[in-house]
Structure 1
């Protein structure tokens, strides 16, 4: 990562409380991701932006836009959203991106206050892909624990894959993750 980008990333993350509802940072063995969501979970819409630096000079950015609401799955209180995740990535000689359709859900466990599970899945077929990407799949699964009112820790798994026309596929980011989320 160029040294000139580091101050900009730090400024964006530290000033997030001025204009964001939550921010999270997660790490895999080969990547670091920061995500900012701009609206509370009780809002009807959600807008978010994220940046991932993957070892080997791969840069991945995303912008999320979802309609969201509260519901229940069985007897579990749930926040769910449906919408779009736009992903752009750049590697040494390759770059591309896609606009994936999909959504997310966070299930809260009433019997274990503070414990919740989150899943997000977005898929972009070739018609919604550009550059070197022919299609793209984004999956993230998390187990969350709210340590205090405005912070939680999480562990999980992230999978971001793109296919190339006539050349196979590439895992842009994949592996177990750990991180924390701060609520403002």
Structure 2
């Protein structure tokens, strides 16, 4: 018991000392928790590429299921700025997706463009994500996985962001296509 407590404390302390962000987005029927850890800080690694470990938990209450549905993800990506395109960064990676009797390992791409605004205007950016897993990377009762998101983010206070976006997640099963979530949302993200 004491070993588990010490290990958990060390792990949490290590994550908090790394560049970490946590977030929450909501709408009338859904809630999503987001977390990211800069792996470069944990591994004391420095290069042009930033490696990120990310995770999400989405509770979708707006579906036909009265109890709502749950979707967990855990991902790893490499991110870098594009040469010749100031403000544009692109991340490529993979993530594990878990839902009820469903598992997928989609590959994904994420683009983020920070607007070149003057210093008196808070940092504002637009983002777009796309993830896809064909049937060979989808397991259990799954057939394919498709996800896309678009949105805008503004750093209103140092290390505090507000964002709005739209997401569409399809968890297609062997017995039929299923749209897991299709909604607009707003949220808050804190960076440490």
* TM-score of the two chains, using structure 1 as the length reference: 0.80
> Who is 1:132 aligned against?
141
Q: Is the 8 A contact 1:76 1:109 kept in 2?
A: no
Distance 1:108 1:44 in 2: 17
Distance 1:82 1:57 in 2: 30
Is 2:155 aligned against 1:172?
no
Deviations 1:128-156 (A, max 9, x none): 00122100001111111110111111111
Superposition deviation, residue 71 in structure 1? 2.0
> Who is 1:104 aligned against?
110
Q: Is the 8 A contact 1:155 1:178 kept in 2?
A: yes
Superposition deviation, residue 76 in structure 1? 4.0
Deviations 1:87-139 (A, max 9, x none): 1012xxxx202010121011000125411001111100000001221000011
Q: Is the 8 A contact 1:156 1:178 kept in 2?
A: yes
* TM-score of the two chains, using structure 2 as the length reference: 0.77
Structure 1: runs of 5 or more not aligned: 1-15
> Who is 1:37 aligned against?
36
Change in 2 beyond 3 A, CA 1:20/1:35 = farther
Question: Which 4+ residue blocks in structure 1 deviate beyond 6 angstroms?
Answer: none
Structure with greater strand percent: 1
Alignment of 1:73-88 (within 5 A): 75-88=85-98
Distance 1:178 1:128 in 2: 31
What SS is found at the alignment partner of 2:142?
Answer: coil
Q: Is the 8 A contact 2:130 2:148 kept in 1?
A: yes
Cα RMSD between the aligned structures?
Answer: 2.4
Name which one, 1 or 2, has greater alpha-carbon Rg: 2
Distance 1:145 1:136 in 2: 29
What SS is found at the alignment partner of 2:136?
Answer: helix
